[in-house]
Every structure is written in C-alpha cells, then in structure tokens.
Amino acid sequence: MKRKKSKCVSYAKWGYIFLIPFFLVYIIFQLIPLLSTFYNSFFENYRVGLMQVGPTFVGFKNYKEILFNSELPMYLKNTFIIWMMGFIPQMFFSLLLASWFTDLRLRLKCSGFFKTVIYMPNLIMASAFSMLFYTIFSDVGPINNLLNSMGLPTYRFLAEVAGARGLIALMNFLMWFGNTTIVLMAGIMGIDTGIMEAARIDGASSFQIFRKITLPIIKPIMAYTLVTSLIGGIQMFDVPQILTNGNGNPDRTSMTAIMYLNKHLYSKNYGMAGALSVILFIITAVLSIFVFKYVTKDMVDTGAKTSKKAKK
Amino acid sequence: MKRKLTSLFLATAMVMTTLAGCGNSGGKPAAKVDTSEAAQGKVLNIYCWNQEFQERFEYFKKSGKLPSDVKVNFVVTPNENNAYQNALDAALLKQKDAPADEKVDIFLVEADYALKYVDSDYTLDVVNDIGLTKDDLADQYQYTKDIVTDSKGVQKGTTWQATPGLFAYRRSIAKDVLGTDNPDKVQEALSSWDKFNSVAEKAAAKGYKMLSGYDDAYRVFSNNVSAPWVDSNNKIVIDDNIMKWVDQTKLFTEKGYNNKSSLWDNVWAADQGPKGKVFGFFYSTWGINFTLLGNSLATPVKEGGKEEVGNGIYGDYAVCQGPQSYYWGGTWICAAAGTDNPNLIKEIMKTLTCDKSTEVQITKDTQDYTNTISGMNELASSDFKSAFLGGQNHIKLFAQAAPKINMKNISAYDQGLNEEFQKAMKDYFDGNVTKDKALDNFYKAAIEKYPNLSH
C-alpha cells in the first residue's frame, strides 16, 4: 500500500511552489500595506513641522471626522461627475470604433495603423499630458489665441467649473478610449461570424445586428470595462492634480477623493489618510460588487464564465 | 493549516506595523557643543536647495580659513513641492543616531518656514553655542535677525543677504500716466495705498494695468501685519492688513486694474517683457537684477541677446519704495544641533555674514544686496548705478528700505498659510465664490496642512 502511493507522483505541489513568488510579492507589497492602513486609521498620528503628534489610539474618531465633518461627499460627487463626463463619450466612441474595425464588410484599410494611433494617448504619461493641456488651455495659450483671433473673448478654462471639469474629462477620455476600443474589439472578434452572417441573410440591418447580437454577447466585456473604469475613476488623481496644481480649482469643484487624500500628505497625517483610504476601499468594493452583479444578473452561463476570465 | 497560516500572517503584519509605529518617535539630539580642537570633525555636511550658497562659499574658501583636511559636502535637494524640507526633516530626525561624519552640520532655510527649525532643538544658538559675539552681529539688519529668533528670544541663524523690496515701474508708462519718470516724483504719487489706487485708476484710463496679478502686492501687506498668523491657542487669525489686500485685489480685478495672473506663471512673466502693459511690479533685491531683467529682454541671453539698452525694455524700468516697506526672499544659515564642526561653522558665519569687506565684495561682484548696514550705506552714497534701471542707484533705495522692515510677527506656519490663503482667495477674485466661502475654503485647506490648528 505504502509503496504504491510513493509511485504515484503528485504534481499538485509544483503548482503551489510556482505560486509562491506571486503570494510573496502580494503579501509584502499589497496585503501588509493594506492591513497597516486599517491599523493606522485608528490612530491620531501626524507631524507639524518637526513636532510629532501621536500616535495615540483614538478609535473611530478619524472616521467620524471624515464622514461628518469633511466634504468627502462633495469630492466623491466631483469625482463621479468628472468620471461620467469622460466615460459616456468614451464608451460611445469605443463601441463605434470597435464595431467599425471589426466589421468585415467595411474592410477598413490600415486598421493596424489606426489602432496604434488611437492607443497612443495612453502611452503618454498622465503628468506630461496634463502639463501639455495646462499650457495649451492657459489664459494666454494657443486655444485662447485662437478664440481671440476669431473675435471671441478669452475663456479662462481653469477658472471656470465647466472648463476645469471638462478638460479633466476630455483628457481622461482621450487617454482611455483607445484602450477600451481594443478590449471591446477583442470581445467582438470572439463572436462567431456565422451568427452575423445568418442574421444578415435573414435581412437584419447593421444596426440591428449590433443591437441584438453584438451588444448582448459582449455584455460581460462591457461589465469588465465598466468596473475597471469605475475603479480607475474613483482613483482619479494625476490629471486633475497637475492640471489644477493640487487645488481642485475653482472652489474645490474639481477636487477628487484621492486629491483630498493627498492633502493629508503635507502633515504626514497617517491617521486621517488611513481612515479616508479605508472608506474609499469600502466604497470601491461595494460599487464594484453592485455594478458587476447588476450587469451580469441575467447573463447566460457561458457569459458568466467569460466574465470570470475577463475579470482576471 | 491554511487558516493557521493566514492568522500567522495577520499576526506578523500587526506586529510589524506596531514596530514601525514605534520607530518614528525618535528622541531629540543633545544641544551641547564641543569646541575643543580634538573634537572637530573632518566632514562638513551642508544641506541646501540650490547652487547659490556653493558660490558664496567660494568667498569663505578665498579667506583661507577652511582647513585643508576638511571635506565639504553639499547635499542639494530642490525646493519644489516641499522636497527640500522633507529631506532635511528626515535627516534631522535621524541626527542623533547618525555617525559623526554623516550628521547635518549646516543647513539653509528660507524666511517662510525658518521658525519651524529655529523654534526647535535642532538648531544652535549662534551666540552661546557657536560663539559669535553681539558685536559681530551688530552691523546686520535687525529684521534678518528677527526672522531667525525663536520664541525665547534666542537668535539661531544668520544670513549674508538682506532682501528689501521695492516697486519697479516702467519709465515709459509712468511718463504717460503721471507725466514724469523721476523716481522721487513717482514715489510721491505712490506713497500710500490710497494714492496707489488712484494711480491705478489713471493707468487703467490710459489702457494700462497697475499690477499683473492677484498676488503681486500680497507680500507688501503680509509683511506689515499686526499679529502672527497663529495665536498662542493655535487659532488662526487673519490680520486686518491681509483683508485689506483681499479688498484691494478684488477692487483691482473688478475694475480691470490687473491682468489676473499668478506669480511665476507665463502671463506674469510676459507682462514684464516688451509686450507688457503693466505699470509695475513689487520685487526685492534679487528679483530686480535677475528675474525682472531676464523677463524684460526681447531676445533672451540664452538665444544670444545682450543685456543692453535696445534689447526689449532694458533700461525702461526704475525703482521706488512704494506704499509700504517689505522684504521678499533670502536665505539663512543655521547650525544643526549635534554638529561636530562648531568651530568651522563659527568661521563660516563670521566670514560670510559678519565681515564687511567680504560682503561688500559679494555685492560688487554679484549685485546681491548683503547684510552689512555700514557697507551698504557706503555703496548707497557712492556713484554705484544700474544700467538696467536707467542709471539709477537702487542700492540707495534698498539701504533706506531695509532698516524699516519689521518682521516680529512671523510664525512657523507662514509658508503654508500664505500659500493656502492666496489659493483660496483666487476663487473669490475670479468671481466663483463669495468672500465668506473663500475664507471657509482657506480654513479647510489650512487645517488639512496643520491638523493642530483651529479657527
């Protein structure tokens, strides 16, 4: 009996061994920082000049301060508005481009070239991109010169609510629509062309095919884009931070939740920053679960499987 | 097994974070100084944020007082985004445990945050610890000493420069608006804020802007406050004089007397150049001879332009005192507690900041205005003149302005609060919020930066 067992080689352990590097990196760089964030959020711990205050255990005081005494809801609202302003056109153009690129009847020439071009903005660093926009849309920048030469008055983009939010949304849109297009294209190309052909033979128009066949099948992929974009949206930071010089001008209407978090960096306020991070963590988790459940609730089994893969 | 592992990890994580928490609360370095010859270290570490002090340090080397076996290390961290202070703080917090040759010996500070270091145990008394005498310091401008004097009245730093501010105006525009470009007559027309405002109105009628942006006059008001930013109960107090700046700037903005720019932005720089239509700028010593001069040229020096009349508006500027005296900028030398080179630091401070002949030489070589009252007065009454200012002797005006600067009301929070106040008020000037809302936003930002304050 014993001999027989030793003959049977177990390969399962190799699976675990090969997974060790991932778990090590995950624990050191993700799990421990995550747990220490939770831990730190219960302490009063900051520095004023060279004077260290705390750490003193204060229970949920930091949470109370943020939830009832700060303007976090306003910053979350700003984040959400700016995210939506960028996400809706992003989804629209990505779907349009993805369906064009994959349409067999259109036979677009140099689609590889266009795919590269629309992906380009994503390759530029967000900070460089923001600096560029800051210069282009400054009060004496090229855009205002153009407006003036057409006889229009100077529009102070960064001093107006719509201007500042609009610019941030525009940049997010430009940076991410290429990426979304590629992801959606992958989804559309996974559809069996036979279904499309059959529909076409039955007399369906391109729009009908798109609405009745393509859209329902790529729903899991869309859910994936929505969830990743939502998480990315909640973490929106670099673009508005640099464009508004960290102030969220005007009147803090373009200050996002993470910019608010960053404000606590100056005083090395680990307690408040920790509490804020935990709150954002919970919000992100709840939103993701909710969106994902909602979008995939009437999905057929195969779809659900695809979505699991996609999620990874 | 799995569960055990998980709990082990969790426990480890908790312990590690607890330990990390303990590490922060380091002790303070001892403030004792050993001046015996044997105890002097052979490495001098100087923390600073640009090359300026390295250039000034050459004057100390020339004096021959630097022992040949001492190695001087400049640790340069750029100023942007608080990076210099962060680096310096980290080094100072480790000062006690660092090996003698790695300890900070000298660090430089700016006025806006000088008190943060001066009012701590990390800096040494320049008289009792370092050994400069009151006589050595007697020829320095009082305000340069006030800025680095802590709450107990102990002076803990010293500087080679004084940076009084003046109002630099365009001669051509002054002629058009006031009918004269004579500095004395222009000064008479601008000697109070009421007069300043009425000149602004006249300038606007002729299509000029009085000032470039919102913050141009800020320092002139904030240097003349009646109390520090923060009172003894850690409560933020907005001084009446600062509110006067708010009201004046709002008036200027509404009536179109300014160009809505911000300090250092491209609109502001362009306003100082040949195409600018701005009457004048508040600038201090370094600003006039470096920044303003650079901006006034049509062809920058980098592109082969010469600093001479005919290139842009070189020669079209002149200076006058303006409505109130103020200062802007400056660099102070502090000796770090725990240093092993106190004798050398004493020599450096004495040579660079107390020695009249060295300082006058610096002024002659670099146009930097130095911290020697008698030396500067001598230059003021000489035939020293600036071609950039159309042949005016600006040292004379600086020498008159410098003794009038009063900086008794600074606080350790000046830098952060000044910055946040200007930022918050910009929304009010732009017409996006009411004055109360802007003040609210200021308090909010202030407490984010300094959680120990209230309002």
For residue A106, what is the domain's CATH number?
Answer: 1.10.3720.10
- Give the closest-approach CA distance of B443 to chain A in angstroms: 12
User: Are B315 and B425 in a shared domain?
Assistant: yes
Strand, helix or coil for residue B218: helix
Distance from C-alpha of B59 to C-alpha of B364, rounded to nearest angstrom = 13
Distance from C-alpha of B70 to C-alpha of B57, rounded to nearest angstrom = 14
Least reliable range by pLDDT among A237-246, B52-61, B77-86 = B77-86
List the structure tokens of B58.
């050459």
Q: A298 falls in which pLDDT band (50, 70, 90)?
A: low
Measured between beta carbons, which residues in chain A are less than 8 angstroms from residue B89? 47, 50
Q: What's the pLDDT at B263?
A: 84
User: Which residue in A36, A51, A140 is closest to B266 by CB distance?
Assistant: A140
Among B370, B397, B428, which residue terminates a domain?
Answer: B370
Among B370, B403, B427, which residue terminates a domain?
Answer: B370
Residue B179 domain boundaries: 165-326+387-449
Least reliable range by pLDDT among A19-23, B34-38, B115-119 = B34-38
List the structure tokens of A116.
């590269």
Rounded to 5°, angle at Cα B326 from B320 and B327: 105
Measured between beta carbons, which residues in chain B are less than 8 angstroms from residue A247? 423
The verdict on a CB contact (< 8 Å) between A266 and B448 is: yes
Structural domain count, chain B: 2
User: Are B110 and B226 in a shared domain?
Assistant: no
| A252 domain-assigned | yes
Q: What's the pLDDT at B1?
A: 42
Work out the average pLDDT over A98-106.
81
Q: What's the pLDDT at A311?
A: 42
> Does A20 contact B at CB distance below 8 Å?
no
Q: What's the pLDDT at B15?
A: 46
Distance from C-alpha of B294 to C-alpha of A21, rounded to nearest angstrom = 56
The verdict on a CB contact (< 8 Å) between B432 and A71 is: no
| A7 domain-assigned | no
- Containing B100, the helix (H) or strand (E) segment is none
| A36 domain-assigned | no
| A45 domain-assigned | no
Residue A126 dihedral angles phi and psi, to the nearest 5°: -55, -40
Q: Is the predicted pLDDT of residue B8 greater than 60, yes or no?
A: no
Q: What's the pLDDT at A38?
A: 92
The verdict on a CB contact (< 8 Å) between A39 and B14 is: yes
- Containing A20, the helix (H) or strand (E) segment is helix A12-26
- The neighbouring-strand residues paired with B46 are B74, B106
Measured between beta carbons, which residues in chain A are less than 8 angstroms from residue B17? 32, 35-36, 39-40
Please tell me which residue of chain B has the smallest CA distance to A266: B449
With 0-12 CB in 10 A as exposed, 13-18 as middle and 19+ as buried, what is A281?
middle
Give CA torsion, residues B208, B210, B211, B212, to 10 deg.
-10
User: Look-up: residue for tokens 């930066």?
Assistant: B449
| B276 domain-assigned | yes
- Give the closest-approach CA distance of B432 to chain A in angstroms: 7
DSSP helix, strand, coil percent of chain B (3-state; round to 5): 45, 15, 40
The verdict on a CB contact (< 8 Å) between B270 and A52 is: no
The verdict on a CB contact (< 8 Å) between A50 and B430 is: no
What CATH number should be reported for the domain holding residue B171?
3.40.190.10
| B20 domain-assigned | no
> Does A27 contact B at CB distance below 8 Å?
yes
> Does B396 contact A at CB distance below 8 Å?
no
Q: B32 falls in which pLDDT band (50, 70, 90)?
A: low
Q: What's the pLDDT at B24?
A: 39
User: Look-up: residue for tokens 């630099």?
Assistant: B168
Please tell me which residue of chain B has the smallest CA distance to A53: B452
Is the Cβ–Cβ distance between B417 and B229 less than 8 Å?
Answer: yes
Write the pLDDT tens digit of every residue in A107-117.
777 878 888 88
CB neighbour burial string for A41-79, b if at least 16 within 10 angstroms, e if fewer: bbbbbbbbbbeebbbeebeebbbebbeeebebeebbebb
Please give the mean pLDDT across all residues of chain B.
85
Measured between beta carbons, which residues in chain A are less than 8 angstroms from residue B122? 50
- The neighbouring-strand residues paired with B213 are B261
Is the Cβ–Cβ distance between A212 and A281 less than 8 Å?
Answer: no
Q: Is the dihedral of CA A200, A204, A207, A211 positive or negative?
A: negative
Is the Cβ–Cβ distance between B100 and B41 less than 8 Å?
Answer: yes
User: Are B341 and B247 in a shared domain?
Assistant: no
B-contacting residues in A 110-139 (Cβ below 8 Å): 135, 138-139
- Give the closest-approach CA distance of A22 to chain B in angstroms: 15
Measured between beta carbons, which residues in chain B are less than 8 angstroms from residue A266? 82, 416, 448-449
B-contacting residues in A 53-112 (Cβ below 8 Å): 53, 55, 71
| A10 domain-assigned | no
User: Are B177 and B230 in a shared domain?
Assistant: yes
| A58 domain-assigned | no
| B365 domain-assigned | yes
- Give the closest-approach CA distance of B218 to chain A in angstroms: 19
User: Are B268 and B240 in a shared domain?
Assistant: yes
Residue A95 domain boundaries: 70-311
| A31 domain-assigned | no
With 0-12 CB in 10 A as exposed, 13-18 as middle and 19+ as buried, what is A149?
exposed
Q: Measuring CA to CA, how many Å separate A221 from each of A91, A217, A225?
A: 12, 9, 6
Please give the mean pLDDT across all residues of chain A.
85
Q: Measuring CA to CA, how many Å separate B394 from each of A59, A245, B167, B292?
A: 61, 36, 11, 14
| A220 domain-assigned | yes
Write the pLDDT tens digit of every residue in B172-218.
999 999 998 898 999 999 999 999 999 999 999 999 999 998 989 99
